Amino acid sequence: MRELCLYFSSFVVALWFVGCVSSPRFTFSKTSENENVDASSFVEEGVASYYADEFHGRKTSNGEIYDMNQLTAAHPTLPFNSKVRVINMENGEEVIVRINDRGPFKDDRVIDLSLAAAKAIEMIGQGTARVRLQILELGPTLPSKTP
């Protein structure tokens, strides 16, 4: 019985030590998660809005300084530096933007455009517009979290 208790105690201590070993939290994927995605087949439709003066000069989610005069946009899920064609479905105007921020944060919106991009598709007067998004190029993936 004493041997069994000693064996069990040793086992518990060994498990405790194994639990204390640290493991890497982030690793770089050897293959891109985007390799199997056909970017041209991705289409999203919804409402676009734009942001300008209040955020001009502030940091974006990817660390850049927001410049409302550049053709950039915020999207909730697309990888940073993805290139997206935005088509105003009301007038047919289109613009190509680079994703450098996260948003929009309203449920009915699919993208937030910079002032320059909003001007390019002639949506400044209305403030919002129905748009179609088409990915032209997916940005690189970020480090993936390992369990």
pLDDT tens digits for range 82-134: 999 999 999 999 999 999 999 999 989 999 999 999 999 999 999 999 999 99
Report the domain count for the chain: 1
CA distances in angstroms from 141 to 44, 78, 128, 144, listed in the order given = 20, 10, 30, 8
CA distances in angstroms from 73 to 35, 42, 82, listed in the order given = 23, 17, 10
Residue 24 domain-assigned (yes or no): no
Query: Which pLDDT value is given to residue 40?
Result: 64
Q: What is the CATH number of the domain that holds 134?
A: 2.40.40.10
Query: Which pLDDT value is given to residue 18?
Result: 58
Counting beta carbons within 10 angstroms of the beta carbon of residue 147, is it exposed (0 to 12), middle (13 to 18) or buried (19 or more)? exposed
The first and second tokens of residue 29, run together, are 């994927």
Residue 73 domain-assigned (yes or no): yes
Residue 1 domain-assigned (yes or no): no
Residue 12 domain-assigned (yes or no): no
- Residue 52's nearest CA partner among 96, 2, 103, 118 is 118
Residue 11 domain-assigned (yes or no): no
Residue 16 domain-assigned (yes or no): no
Residue 113 domain-assigned (yes or no): yes
Question: pTM, whole model, 2 decimals?
Answer: 0.70
What is the tens place of the pLDDT at every residue in 10-26? 766 766 665 665 544 44
CA distances in angstroms from 137 to 3, 12, 91, listed in the order given = 65, 52, 24
Residue 115 domain-assigned (yes or no): yes
